[in-house]
Amino acid sequence: MTHRHRALTPSLAAATLAVGLLLPSPARAELVTKVVEYKQGDAVLEGYLAYEAGGPAKRPGVLVIHDWLGVGPNTRARVDQLARLGYVAFAADIYGKGVRPKGPAEAGKLAGQYKGDRALLRERVRAGLAELRKVPLVEAPKVAAIGYCFGGTTALELARSGADVAAVVSFHGGLDTPTPADAKNIKAHVLVLHGADDPYVPAEQVAAFEAEMRAAGVDWQLVKYSGAVHSFTIPDAGNDNSKGAAYNAVADRRSWQAMKALFAETLQ
């Protein structure tokens, strides 16, 4: 699947519908996936949609917000996983069509640019949410947003913008914001999944976030996973904690489970 999508030319992408039988098992429905071109203002964005063929006519939706590398294989894999759980899942594109950083330096610069312009960041993610809501399969009020690293920060910023989302989940996202008072706008149930040894999201930032949520009366939960640093759900991140970012299979599995539990509570 992934390879096929990576091989798509940009011109084909917008209108291409990919349907694949993943397994011969009769229990598995076909996965419908689609690269979706949409806009925010004048910016052209390119997201990725997936859902299971057949099944109910209306389903809860989940918006997935990419890490600093943009919509890539890891993001699409999460969208597919969510589709397999019965959701209509859509990866929002924050950076713009064709804007895909080549490595950490470029990614850091780009993510930093959007983190430094929260108004634009909110517009971009809200455009993604609007795009997801347009999918006829989506049961309108039952929409959640999740995000990874930069995307976790963005998911929280989406909630602070007052977006009508039932739940927001951050996987190893930065928790800081220039406008903590905006927490009063949050309608979502908030779940923060945090590596206990994440050097990029230090204890002081976690404490400030808790204080922000508490002051605004938000329904929030925060889970700390031992032995986990930044990027703990990203398979490409390697296994060297001393680098500050590394994959952790246990924390990956547990955090996915925690997300599912919140969705079972808020999206049914």
Residues near its own copies (CB under 8 A) are: 2-4, 6-12, 26-29, 52, 54-56, 59, 84-87, 196-197, 203, 207, 210, 213-214, 217-227, 250, 253-254, 257-258, 261, 265, 268
Question: How far apart are alpha carbons 99 and 113 in whole angstroms?
Answer: 13
Nearer to its own copies, 52 or 93 (CB): 52
In whole angstroms, how close is the CB of 243 to its own copies at the nearest point? Answer: 18
Nearer to its own copies, 115 or 142 (CB): 142
Question: How far apart are alpha carbons 74 and 198 in whole angstroms?
Answer: 20
Nearer to its own copies, 49 or 121 (CB): 49
Nearer to its own copies, 36 or 88 (CB): 88
In whole angstroms, how close is the CB of 110 to its own copies at the nearest point? Answer: 32
Q: How far is CA 197 from CA 40, 194, 206, 225, in A?
A: 36, 9, 12, 8
In whole angstroms, how close is the CB of 198 to its own copies at the nearest point? Answer: 12
In whole angstroms, how close is the CB of 185 to its own copies at the nearest point? Answer: 16
Question: How far apart are alpha carbons 142 and 267 in whole angstroms?
Answer: 5
Rg of the chain, C-alpha, whole Å: 17
Query: Pairing mode, if any, of strands 88-92 and 43-52?
Result: antiparallel
In whole angstroms, how close is the CB of 38 to its own copies at the nearest point? Answer: 26
The answer to whether 160 and 121 are in contact (CB under 8 A) is: no
Nearer to its own copies, 119 or 264 (CB): 264
